[in-house]
Chain A
């Protein structure tokens, strides 16, 4: 049966994707950028929408939720996967609402009034079958994909608004968004970049060589010198792994120190993050927030006899509280950290927040 083939084909792809997620996450740093992960997740979700068997929006949402849970379980720290799943769920809800013809101005947020007036729960509303729902949803997902492809360019286009000439800019680790941002600005302006290599993975070296090839004056400093050189820095521009719901960041380790040093010298801290990195999680889940990799990055096995008596830690991420951040630059423009909660309500439906 052709349906059976499609299904096996689909599950194969999902399995392959899960395996890849697991593998790249346990490696050192991210072997693939978040943008690629987001794109692949969305493509996979589109395929699921196209090929899986479902008759109503509710069933589709169930399928997607199930797959989404499996994907996030494979790599909990890769939050873009969960974000994309939530986006698609919101798309489905919107398309369903549009097909039903109900108005879209109804506020998504929970409110006492809404609880009173909307008698039945919205659950069984999704049982209705609409013929064009599939096509609409797939179209919307395609739009989402185009948006994803354009995020880096959108952010880089804003570069000239934020960088003036003869500035000294500091960055840490290796973020493709920041790299594109700085390269775009370098076409018209001359400035210096100081890169803090990020021990133990030293991603900073990569971005430094890449920037210096574009004739940008780059300097590589070890992490220990961050505070020492901060007094000469005009701006700090960083990328991040995730933007949390309270406006804080989950970024590569060493970023908190950088943020504190910038605050001490009153240097603005600018975060370049595309919208797909915005995640409805909060930082208080202590056990799921941190991710560790093998301590042999920190204390190699060649150190022999002391290894057994010593605890070595190698966390990958840092939490940066929103008070230390000055500005978020995303593909929809610049925002203050206090506005993040609002953006979240536009992107995700509150019922999808806990996955």
Chain B
């Protein structure tokens, strides 16, 4: 995944740097169309940065420097590489002669860094243009620390008016309706969106929708109303919808399927993220699909290409979700012994699957399901387990300290595993892990590898999702205290969806690659990148 991320970033770097290579870039233009604005912004930023750098220290040395260290590195494409110093020269806007020749070491370091960037850029471009010859290069480049320029996701920049304007323009161009925030937002979370379930974005789309495929519209509505919930379910639904889209897709004349289809997918993805912010698993699935589409050779016939893509999607679902859950179940069942009392929280499809499998294999255990307002997802898990005949107990999360002395193990599901070892999961998971730690009960997290993501986060504030605040309102004994919370100006309701659990509360993570400690997540990510 880091590979494609880096590839994207490097494409952008390449494009922003380079006016000569515009012609070559136009071949890939189809892919980058939607990011044009961001590219332009980036271009300007780079110009400004370079202006500043030229004033400070002389990068004029880089004219000679790239040529010198470059041959020392094993390079397979010389023509594209020779182009690199040219691009670098063209990219320096002001004549370096204006700058002093002082601070050699700084300039040297900058030049070396730039040379490395050029090299990687060249190798990536060569890979796109050539194909097979660069097979050795990509293996080498991920082993170096790539200076990846990450762009901030839009959904955590709600308090920035410039970002909001950009988003509005982008959505207008894609003809996707913009969803407005609802209700008073707690000041700590003013950087996040807060939508109301009563105003789904589908209301603003005219029927029939010409830009957005109807199965995507349906999917968006199901997401925003909470009909489809849970990261596995959402990813699978997304992939099925994309299969439908690919089925109905027909290449317009003078366009290539590999570029045009990706363009078509972008407004759908914007629309879906307006309905509900994308989960980490969905993000990974989308990256995979985009990569598969762009890897389709241009001489492939349309029918063949479509079938190939459908097969890819099916394989992905099968491998990453279905088979992975079977592998995880096999590992996890070893950890369940007879007489265990297992605590689960909310409704995780994976954990439910594990428990049902263990019950089939004649393990004797009983389950305690912990639930929390306002979603009350535990009731769904309770229904599924009781249907299988497993003996269950049900409590709310405030009764956790009462019930925990009886518990022998805690099984938790995860929404994503972050690169610094934190577990992002449904709100309340961190509390369960905390109290379990206080009572010395082992906590096991079950998570498939396709949910691993490279983000890092230390608290639940910077990146989260705010659900409809009206869900917290409840009527008891005929009295609804919070009925008019909107009218009281100092009252806010906070309905968080996710929280992050620190790795020292988690004892073991069970993945389809085996049982690993929480801190080994970046290792798994690295291994996956090298494979791709």
Q: Report whether chain A binds chain B.
A: yes
Instruction: Report which A residues bind B (CB closer than 8 A).
Output: 28, 197-202, 205-206, 208-209, 212-213, 215-229, 231-232, 253-254, 256-257, 260-261, 264, 290, 298-299, 303, 306, 309-315, 318-319
CB–CB A218/B491 < 8 A: yes
Q: Which residues of chain A have C-beta atoms less than 8 A from B427's C-beta? A: 222, 224-225, 228
A to B CB contacts below 8 Å, 20 in the list: A199-B398, A206-B481, A208-B481, A209-B485, A217-B490, A223-B396, A224-B373, A227-B499, A228-B496, A229-B460, A253-B398, A254-B398, A257-B401, A257-B435, A260-B435, A264-B434, A299-B379, A303-B379, A309-B392, A313-B393
CA distance A218 to B499 in the complex (A): 21
CB–CB A225/B499 < 8 A: yes
A-contact bits for B5-19, CB 8 A (1 contact / 0 none): 000000000000000
CA distance A239 to B494 in the complex (A): 22
Tell me which residues from 355 to 392 in chain B have a Cβ below 8 Å from any Cβ of chain A: 372-374, 379, 382-383, 386, 391-392
B193 to chain A, nearest CB (A): 17
B47 interface hit (Cβ, 8 Å)? no
CA distance A224 to B370 in the complex (A): 11
CB–CB B491/A231 < 8 A: no
- 4 further A-B contacts with Cβ under 8 Å, apart from A205-B482, A225-B494, A253-B398, are A220-B491, A227-B434, A290-B402, A315-B402
CB–CB A257/B398 < 8 A: yes
With both beta carbons as reference points, the residue of chain B lying nearest to A222 in the complex is identified as: B373
Q: Which residues of chain B have C-beta atoms less than 8 A from A219's C-beta? A: 186, 491-494
CB–CB B392/A221 < 8 A: no
- Stretch from B23-31, B52-60, B265-273, B470-478 contacting the other chain: B470-478
- Given A226-B431, A318-B402, is A220 in contact with B394 using a C-beta cutoff of 8 Å? no
B400 interface hit (Cβ, 8 Å)? yes
B459 interface hit (Cβ, 8 Å)? yes
Choose among B188, B396, B399, B482 the residue that contacts A208 (Cβ–Cβ < 8 A): B482
CA distance A254 to B401 in the complex (A): 8
CB–CB B477/A202 < 8 A: no
A173 to chain B, nearest CB (A): 9
CB–CB A232/B188 < 8 A: yes
B508 interface hit (Cβ, 8 Å)? no
B327 interface hit (Cβ, 8 Å)? no
Instruction: Report which B residues bind A (CB closer than 8 A).
Output: 186-188, 372-374, 379, 382-383, 386, 391-403, 426-428, 430-431, 434-435, 438, 459-461, 472, 474, 476-477, 481-482, 485, 488, 490-496, 499-500
CB–CB A212/B488 < 8 A: yes
A-B contact count (CB 8 A): 161
Q: Which residues of chain B have C-beta atoms less than 8 A from A208's C-beta? A: 481-482, 491
**By DSSP majority rule, is chain A's interface helix, strand, loop, or mixed?**
mixed
With both beta carbons as reference points, the residue of chain A lying nearest to B481 in the complex is identified as: A205
CB–CB B396/A200 < 8 A: yes
CB–CB B482/A310 < 8 A: no
CB–CB B482/A209 < 8 A: yes
B238 to chain A, nearest CB (A): 26
CA distance A37 to B400 in the complex (A): 29
CA distance A23 to B477 in the complex (A): 16
B490 to chain A, nearest CB (A): 4
Q: Which residues of chain A have C-beta atoms less than 8 A from B438's C-beta? A: 260
Choose among B188, B372, B382, B386 the residue that contacts A222 (Cβ–Cβ < 8 A): B372
B302 to chain A, nearest CB (A): 49
- Given A260-B434, A261-B434, A299-B394, is A310 in contact with B188 using a C-beta cutoff of 8 Å? no
Q: Which residues of chain A have C-beta atoms less than 8 A from B488's C-beta? A: 209, 212-213
CB–CB A256/B401 < 8 A: yes
CA distance A223 to B372 in the complex (A): 7
Q: Which residues of chain B have C-beta atoms less than 8 A from A197's C-beta? A: 373, 472
CA distance A213 to B434 in the complex (A): 34
CA distance A133 to B393 in the complex (A): 57
CB–CB A312/B401 < 8 A: no
CB–CB B372/A199 < 8 A: yes
A163 to chain B, nearest CB (A): 17
